[in-house]
Amino acid sequence: MTSHLTSHTAAATPRRRTVVKAAAATAALTPLAAALGATPASAASAGPAFLHGVASGDPLPDGVLLWTRVTPVPEAVPGSGLGPAVPVAWEVAEDRAFARVVASGTVTATAAADHTVKADVRGLAPQTAYFYRFTAGSAVSAVGRTLTAPRHDARTDRVRFGVASCSNWESGYFSAYRHLAARADLHAVLHLGDYVYEYGSGAYPEAKYTVRPHEPRHETTTLADYRIRHGRYKTDADLQALHAAHPVIAIWDDHEIANDAWAGGAENHTPGTEGDWAARAAAAKQAYFEWMPVRPSTAGTVYRRLRFGSLADLHLLDLRSFRSQPVKVGSGAVDDPERTITGRAQLDWLKAGLASSDAAWKLVGTSVMISPLAFGSLPAHLLAPLAKLLGLPQGGIAISTDQWDGYTDDRKELLAHLRDRNIRNTVFLTGDIHMAFANDVPVNMATYPGSGTAATEFVVTSVTSDNIDDLLHVPAHTASLAAETAIRAANWHVKWLDMDSHGYGVLDVTAERSQMDYYVVSDKRRQDARASWTRSYRTRSGSQKVERAWSPVH
């Protein structure tokens, strides 16, 4: 068959640290990629080579998006703009030996798209595992495995996702990806943002704590820079293993562009020395779409919707491209109805999709926490007049206004929509904050639990990015204990949090409940780190409340 192809034509101190600092102030295994046949990045040759692995993403009932990058000649490294055009053939088969090929095609890799290629393959069978590979001349890529989604009307018993976020190259190794790759029970892996980081080497963490250096060494600001950074990430054997083992469904957060990005700029962008913001954001997004197995829903954004039978609709958000400029912590401006985190069009799209969904579960991939997280909460009869008098946020003083806490009118409108339309079984899936949470999402934080809950939220911790004890350079689960106690005391809807661990989640969805199993890695600074289950939380169909589950789903 013929494919439908997509073609692409000095760091500031990271503000993300302020989230964990504010809370603190209150208190050698063999990589799976080798087994999958991944080509080591050091294997340069005179002819074409596949040095960055293979990937699939955005599974549909009849298809999937395939990705790779070919190096046509040794000098055609990512971001170089060098190297000739080269035809790249792809095949999809029912078996790993490719005896039963069911789809094939050819695309031309060019320097204009950094020699990345995509094939949007259709005509496949629903809920079926396939194997795929690419060839260029005599070079053959690693073999990847992918899985199509169930038919939209299929009565699916369960769907299971790996869930990950925040993988800073310099902070550690991607062993979490290796452990996700080794699982044979996942329909897909959901990556909730900060897949790459833009900082220069030694900026985050400091150089003396860096595990392995970025490329390029300087902060990424140009198209070539972002291409080089993506290329560096995709030389990691564990990341290659993840992509070769499962389809990945990804959205971006800020670090794919710049820290605390918004529609008109970013905390980590200085127009006078780092160029025009619009040009930088466009370059970052172009590189992202070149290097990721992601279909853009519309030009320049990643919000889109995928369906997994009658069991789950997955609504994926873009919370950077349309948001208003952030305001300072403690400012009552967070309640300004003119401020937005989604933009009007995206919020209307989300509300309409949630209202019209006939799926048992409405999953929402959001890159930043929607649950309020605040200090200074008071009973409603005291908070409202005091907040009005002092110009403070109505929900208390938020820890971070980079989250939905900084854009409370959008949140209020969305949660009221869920309540007023009686939309049940909405689960927000979140990354960003380098901590793990299990939350009720209160209709009104000031009167919770009396005002009830509109949804639940599961937040996964970071793959490697620093959290409280990393930043303070103390043993895990020491300095954070007081902060965890203070957060729970001020935020009754937070049923559990872990401020120190690194790892991933596995979300298991059935008609009866959605359960998040939380896993932690033993040491992010070791390539052979072990992974172990730590906690599980679930929400039962119709309850809209989080409760502890005492064992992971097997």
For 253-343, where are the alpha helices, taking DSSP H only? 271-274, 277-291
Region for 176 from its dihedrals, namely left if φ exceeds 0, alpha if ψ lies in -120 to 50, beta otherwise = alpha
| pLDDT value of position 423 | 98
How far is residue 357's CA from residue 336's CA, in Å, rounded to a whole number?
A: 30
- As a dihedral over the C-alpha atoms of residue 150, residue 155, residue 160, residue 163, rounded to 10 degrees, the angle is 70
Q: Can you spell out the DSSP letters for 348-416?
A: HHHHHHHHH--SSEEEEEESS--S--EES---HHHHHHHHHHHT--TT-EES-TTSGGG-HHHHHHHHH
Tens of pLDDT, residues 301-338: 999 999 999 999 999 999 999 999 999 887 889 999 99
**Secondary structure of 481-493 in the HEC alphabet?**
HHHHHHHHHHCCC
Contact (CB, 8 A) for 285 and 300: yes
| Residues 340-355, mean pLDDT to the nearest whole number | 98
pLDDT value of position 28: 29
Highest mean pLDDT among 380-384, 425-429, 488-492: 425-429
- Do 14 and 199 touch, CB atoms closer than 8 A? yes
DSSP conformational letter for 14: P
Strands (E), 177-224: 188-191
How much is the pLDDT for 300? 84
How many whole angstroms from its chain centre is CA 38? 23
> With contact defined as beta carbons under 8 Å apart, do 522 and 530 qualify?
yes
For residue 203, is pLDDT > 90? yes
C-alpha to C-alpha distance for 327 and 498, rounded to whole angstroms = 27
Backbone angles phi, psi at 77, to 5 degrees: -75, 160
Rounded to an integer, what distance in angstroms lies between the CA atom of residue 317 and that of residue 363? 11
**Can you tell me the distance from the alpha carbon of 519 to that of 552, in angstroms, rounded to the nearest whole number?**
10
Is 16-30+161-549 in CATH node 3.60.21.70?
yes
DSSP code for 459:
E
For 334, phi then psi, to 5°, come to: -60, -25
Would you call 535 helix, strand, or coil by DSSP?
strand
Residue 160 CB neighbour total at 10 angstroms: 18
Q: How many residues does the chain have?
A: 554
Q: What is the pLDDT of residue 26?
A: 31
Give yes or no for a contact between 295 and 65, defined as CB atoms under 8 angstroms apart: yes
What distance lies between CA 387 and its chain's CA centroid? Answer: 34
Cα 33 to Cα 55: distance, rounded to the nearest angstrom? 12
Q: Which residues partner with 18 through β-bridges?
A: none
Pairing state between β 188-191 and 158-164: parallel
d(CA 231, CA 292): 11
- pLDDT, one tens digit per residue, over 120-155 is 999 999 999 999 999 999 999 999 999 999 999 999
Percentage above 90 pLDDT, the chain: 78
Helix (H, G, I), strand (E, B) or coil at 496: strand
| Model confidence pLDDT, tens digit, residues 436-486 | 999 999 998 878 888 899 999 999 999 999 988 888 888 878 777 877 888
pLDDT at 390 over 60: no
What is the tens place of the pLDDT at every residue in 17-38? 433 433 333 332 233 333 333 4
pLDDT of residue 376: 55
Q: Identify the pLDDT of residue 396.
A: 63
Look at residues 368, 365, 387 and name the one whose alpha carbon lies nearest to residue 376. 387
Mean pLDDT of the chain: 89
Out of 3-7, 61-65, 175-179, 487-491, least confident range: 3-7
What average pLDDT does this structure show over 88-110? Answer: 98
> Residue 511 corresponds to which tokens in the numbers above?
């008609």
Q: pLDDT, tens digit, for every residue of 255-301?
A: 999 999 999 999 999 998 999 999 999 999 999 999 999 998 877 89
The SS3 call for residue 346 is helix
b/e code 185-194 from CB counts within 10 Å (16+ = b): ebbbbbbbbb
Which of 57, 32, 252 is closest to 161 using CA atoms? Answer: 57
Quick one: DSSP state of residue 31? P
Residues 482, 414 contacting (CB under 8 angstroms):
no
Say if residues 423 and 455 touch (Cβ distance below 8 Å). Answer: no
With 50 as the cut, is the pLDDT of residue 191 above it? yes
CA atoms within 13 A on the CB side of 539: 28
State what percent of residues in the chain have pLDDT above 70: 88
The pLDDT of residue 373 is 87
Residue 523, SS3?
coil
Q: What residue type is assigned to position 320 of the chain?
A: R
- Res. 76: pLDDT tops 90: yes
Q: How many CB atoms lie within 10 A of CB 227?
A: 28
What pLDDT was estimated at residue 394? 62
Q: How many CB atoms lie within 10 A of CB 126?
A: 17
Q: Where are the domains of the chain?
A: 16-30+161-549
What pLDDT digit, counting tens, does each position of 505-517 carry?
999 999 999 999 9
Neighbour-count burial of 545, counting CB atoms closer than 10 A to its CB (0-12 exposed, 13-18 middle, 19+ buried): middle
Mean pLDDT of 110-128: 98
Which pLDDT value is given to residue 108?
A: 98
Strand ranges in 251-342 using DSSP code E only, listed in sequence order: 261-262, 265-266, 304-308, 312-316
Mean of pLDDT values over 403-431: 97
Strands of 154-199 (E only): list them. Answer: 158-164, 188-191
Average pLDDT over residues 5-9: 33
